[in-house]
Amino acid sequence: MNAILSHRSIRKFKDTPIDESLLNDILHAGSRASTTGNMQVYSIIVTKDQSIKEQLLPCHFGQGMVTQAPVVLTFCADFNRFNKWCLQRNAVPGYDNFLSFITAATDALLAAQNVCIAAEDKGLGICYLGTTTYTADKIIEILKLPKGVVPITTVVVGYPDEKPELTDRLPLAAILHREIYQEYSEGDIDQIYAAREVLPQTKILLEENKKETLAQIFTDNRYSKKDNVAFSKVLLDVLHKQGFMNNDM
């Protein structure tokens, strides 16, 4: 619980390597996560080799922690292993469709979060890299992911060389809905985002980016429609190529 409540993303790591048995412990914690029907349709690529991390670096938009962190974990939706087992056991797998991709991605993400909490519990720091789905096509090439395997998220792990403040969050009530969905009024929205909008770092951001509102920094700079549309095409193309879009009998 303490590890959960004190989570902060770490983007600066010490040179200290992670002991192999410690790494094994946190990956084992990942394997204890719930998975659909206990199929465990995910894989974790454990990359330590500096030259491979350097190949991955542009996939993660050059974020320095990819080469600086001792370990890079790429969590993948993976029906390849399960399909091979079915075929070797006189069973015909039907997992080349969109639902199966979502099932496998879910397995991968729950395992990832277990690994992160276990790592933080052991004094390590982590950061998720959302760039994984944006450049899934290139990551597939670098990590030699076969058909049936799609990278979903990446986590860098190492000993923290910084101690950032806890990140702010929206008021808990803002993300909760009692019994059924409670639609937000204009006033609700104003109230939910008010504290975030008056933070000192928000003012700095607005000046730096010459923007009128914090929301514009998201829509115009960080997560623009143009980028989202381009990355959507990449990801859907990857799903086709990796064999997850055969949605007919």
| Closest separation in Å from C-beta 144 to a copy of itself | 5
Which residue's CB is nearer to a copy of itself, number 36 or number 67? 36
Q: Cα–Cα distance between 70 and 32 in angstroms, integer?
A: 24
User: Using CB atoms within 10 A of its CB, is residue 200 exposed (0-12), middle (13-18) or buried (19+)?
Assistant: exposed
Q: Is 43 helix (H, G, I), strand (E, B) or coil?
A: strand
Q: Cα–Cα distance between 100 and 14 in angstroms, integer?
A: 39
Residue 113 tokens read as 């979060």
Determine if 237 is a binding residue for a copy of itself (CB under 8 A). Answer: no
Give the total residue count for the chain: 249
Q: Cα–Cα distance between 75 and 227 in angstroms, integer?
A: 23
Exposure of 237 in the CB half-sphere (CA atoms within 13 A)? 12
Determine if 122 is a binding residue for a copy of itself (CB under 8 A). Answer: yes
Binding mask 9-38 for a copy of itself (x = CB under 8 A): x--------------x--xxx-xxxx-xxx
| Closest separation in Å from C-beta 68 to a copy of itself | 18
Residues from 58 through 117 that contact a copy of itself (CB under 8 A): 78, 80-82, 84-86, 88-95, 97-100, 102-103, 105-106, 109-110, 112-114, 116-117
- The closest of 69, 18, 71 to 48, measured between CA atoms, is 71
| Choice from 142, 154, 157, 158 touching a copy of itself (CB under 8 A) | 142
Which residue's CB is nearer to a copy of itself, number 37 or number 200? 37
| Closest separation in Å from C-beta 82 to a copy of itself | 8
| Closest separation in Å from C-beta 16 to a copy of itself | 20
Which residue's CB is nearer to a copy of itself, number 84 or number 203? 84
Determine if 135 is a binding residue for a copy of itself (CB under 8 A). Answer: no
Which residue's CB is nearer to a copy of itself, number 62 or number 123? 123
Taking CB under 8 A as the binding criterion, the range among 10-18, 60-68, 156-164, 215-223 that sits at the site for a copy of itself is 215-223
Which residue's CB is nearer to a copy of itself, number 64 or number 98? 98
Q: What angle do CA 195, 198, 200 make, to 5 degrees?
A: 120
98-121 vs 20-31: helix axis angle to the nearest 10? 140
Taking CB under 8 A as the binding criterion, the range among 13-21, 60-68, 137-145, 201-209 that sits at the site for a copy of itself is 137-145
Collect all residues with Cβ–Cβ distance below 8 Å to 66 and sequence separation of at least 6. Answer: 53, 56, 57, 60, 72, 129, 154, 156
